[in-house]
Chains A and B, each alone.
Chain A
Amino acid sequence: MTDKLTKTGAAPGEPVASSGAPSDAFLDVRDLKIHFPTDDGLVKSVDGLSFQLEKGKTLGIVGESGSGKSVTSLGIMGLHTVGQYGRQKARISGEIWLNGRELLSANPDEVRRMRGREMAMIFQDPLSAMHPYYTVGHQIVEAYRVHHPVDKKTAKRRAVELLDRVGIPEPAKRFDNYPHEFSGGMRQRAMIAMALVNNPELLIADEPTTALDVTVQAQILDLMRDLQKEFGSAVVIITHDLGVVAELADDILVMYGGRCVERGPAESVFYEPQHPYTWGLLGSMPRIDRDQTERLIPVKGNPPSLINIPSGCAFNPRCPYADVPKGGITRTQRPELALAGDRHFSACHMPQEERTRIWTEEIAPKL
């Protein structure tokens, strides 16, 4: 389509890296880098990630373990310790604009006041995310009163209301239960209630259903969809499960080796994927909704070490198309995200016509 535009990252819709100018988008992450110095070397967990998200929309971040998805979410929440606190000292650069405010350069106290109120997070494992010594109700009330100067009674009313909204039976009674008295699905509901108690505008859910059984997962996904309609927040959902993103996300971002390899509207990422890694993910997945394919088409090799990310495209050692001639571009050159369709970007050196051909002729028929 628009191959000419693809040389730089400045195609329409693509954020200009580190411009310093405030952004129109509700959430605008620009060239985010999060590195951790370790004894073995610098771990480049996130290495130049940019995306935007509007209010009321859901972005699904997909990737395998170690691709940098969770580190990204903690980075947006400002939960990586920088500098003097703790032993883990993350080196963070780039910009994160939330509602016209830049978070990385902001005063930590200011970010702390925003956390919970303007942005909240749902963690994967509610049993370790909740404090075992306090009742569920107490913890929700606490989250509310940090941001709202109300008495305990009012806060309790609000907490019970929220517990009821997320589908906990007999919320007033359950208010006084401890986390261990809840089942896995109920804990996840309580956790969602806690995240929503302050009406946050940005909600980050990191593998919210991974620890749950499939029937409970269906309940939680349904709940999240309804709540988003009701609360109108922007949601970032992080998962390794393509089924979950297909259920919830408007846009999908595929991460590999700390970078985005493909990003676009959910439908075009699923139906016209542009990156060989996305093809690999789709081919690796047994599908319950399709006729049995005889064999899965796995991605060969293993995910890269983040200390020693392959030069050039991080996927190149595993890419079956790495040897396709690309007009003089060598393996060590890193592909940048380039426009490959309507709001659809991908980072691959192969010419787009070639990729479209491979997908429609070689990959799609086998899925």
Chain B
Amino acid sequence: MEPLLKVTGLKKHFPIKKGLLQRQTGAVKAVDGIDFEVLPGETLGVVGESGCGKSTMGRLITRLLEPTGGTVEFQGKDISHLGVGGMRPLRRDIQMIFQDPYGSLNPRHTVGTIVSAPFKLQGVEPEGGVRKEVQRLLGLVGLNPEHYNRYPHEFSGGQRQRIGIARALALKPKLVVADEPVSALDVSIQAQVVNLLDDLQQELGLTYVIIAHDLSVIRHVSDRIAVMYLGKIVELADRKSLYENPMHPYTRALMSAVPIPDPRRRGAKSERILLTGDVPSPIAPPPGCRFNTRCWKATEVCRTQEPPLVELRPGQRVACHHPENADSLTIPGARESVEITKPEAKAKPKPEPESPKAEAAPKVEAAADVEAEAETAEPSTEGDESPKA
């Protein structure tokens, strides 16, 4: 299938200027070379911690920002450097839903004006008139069409988010990019909006890119998921593979950190990987693999060589020298890319964690500035080395 959106080597560096002459002294590398594609009708979830560049990515693919490097192709057309005029006809097809339902609606405009603005801007005269169409849209997102003349402050957070969704859908877009669409909402309201997005996709055949930090929400809404860390995609896979068999250590740590709403599983510390420290600054990301400063598996090669994003299993792309759960690799080329790292890994005096030693292993690593909770079942590192040795 032709991808609806294709992103290659996408970069966005925000310059840091200092002094009287405003000379550039550095750059915040918010997005630093990412590749992915979005197929028509699917939902791509993008997840990561704050500062990983996921929102910048969303603004790049909607072309609210101009990329520093790389390309964004929409339906085969390169849109990376189109101007305002060039983008205008495409704006119908690419729409955005914003995080903050308070900041994204003009408080002095009525709901009718807000939702009908896209028609005005694009010069579209919907069938049956603007007013009728707006009321249809309001009904579609579960609002009372009679509330056409009300102002945003008369609505609750969840209802405002619905207004934002109605506006995004007005021009029947092909791609909808939603940046944290539910994170500002209460739990019970969050579920309403998640279900609404679901229904609309079914009904209108929409393609979504949903950006969120909440792994449970992302899992619920996405078909495929990209995990970002410091401006890079570290793992890109379909939902099932990603949640059942995460291969990047960061993905694993991220998922194990989610508190599980089940008191019987409390203190299942063995399952939890505690990362130490914080995410490094995107101004000076660490050399090699960006996760190496917090990774319990990091070796010399991780500190010098940046791992490429390669397909290690069908549909699962991972950027790691020492992937997890890698024992059952099925793609021949992928084996090689893992094997390249083998000599260096073996050369390290530090013993790789093995299942019986799992308790002791983290202590060794704690000394190496990385404190990981014991991983009880850790056959993976063994698995990916020994069969090939």
Contact = CB atoms under 8 A, between A and B. Distances in A.
A240 interface: yes
Contacts of B254: 214-215
Given A213-B50, A215-B49, A216-B278, A286 B261 contact: no
Interface string A173-202: 000000000011110000000000000000
B364 to A, nearest CB: 19
Given A216-B278, A219-B274, A243 B261 contact: yes
Interface stretch (B86-94, B190-198, B230-238, B349-357): B190-198
Contacts of B216: 285-288
A247 B188 contact: no
A145 to B, nearest CB: 30
A278 to B, nearest CB: 11
B13 interface: no
Interface in B267-284: 267, 269, 272, 274-276, 278-279
B303 interface: no
Contacts of A296: 191, 194-195, 220
A363 interface: no
A342 B206 CA distance: 49
Given A247-B266, A281-B187, A218 B220 contact: no
Contacts of A84: none
Contacts of B256: 218
A275 to B, nearest CB: 13
B302 to A, nearest CB: 18
A267 B264 contact: yes
A118 interface: no
A130 B253 CA distance: 30
A295 interface: yes
Contacts of A288: 215-216, 219, 243, 255, 258, 260
Max chain B CB contacts within 10 Å: which of A225, A246, A296? A296
Interface stretch (A1-9, A297-305, A326-334, A353-361): A297-305
Nearest to B193: A298
Interface in B49-66: 49-50
B156 interface: yes
Instruction: For chain B, give the interface size range.
Output: 35 or more
Contact of B194 (A184, A271, A286): A286
Contacts of A186: 278
Nearest to B217: A286
Contacts of A185: 278
Interface in B243-300: 243, 253-267, 269, 272, 274-276, 278-279
Contacts of A65: 186
A298 B192 contact: yes
Contacts of B259: 217-218, 221, 241, 243-244, 246-247
B189 A302 contact: yes
Given A284-B190, A287-B261, A292 B213 contact: no
A218 B274 contact: yes
Contact of A246 (B49, B220, B260, B274): B260
Interface string A220-262: 0110010000000000000011111111010000000000000
A101 B239 CA distance: 54
A217 B188 contact: no
Contacts of B337: none
Contacts of B198: 295
A298 B189 contact: yes
Contacts of A15: none
A213 B276 CA distance: 13
B217 to A, nearest CB: 5
Contacts of B195: 295-296, 298
A217 B213 CA distance: 13
Contacts of B263: 246, 249, 266-267, 270
Contacts of A289: 260-262, 265
Contacts of B191: 283-286, 296-299
Contacts of A280: 188
Interface in A99-141: none
A214 B258 contact: yes
Nearest to B218: A286
A217 B257 contact: yes
A197 B314 CA distance: 54
A244 to B, nearest CB: 5
A242 B263 CA distance: 10
Contacts of A219: 274-276
A14 interface: no
B201 interface: no
Interface of B: 49-50, 156, 158-159, 186-192, 194-195, 198, 213, 215-217, 219-220, 239, 243, 253-267, 269, 272, 274-276, 278-279
8 contacts: A64-B187, A213-B50, A215-B49, A217-B257, A247-B266, A270-B262, A271-B264, A285-B261
Interface of A: 64-65, 183-186, 213-219, 221-222, 225, 240-247, 249, 266-267, 270-271, 280-289, 292, 295-300, 302-303
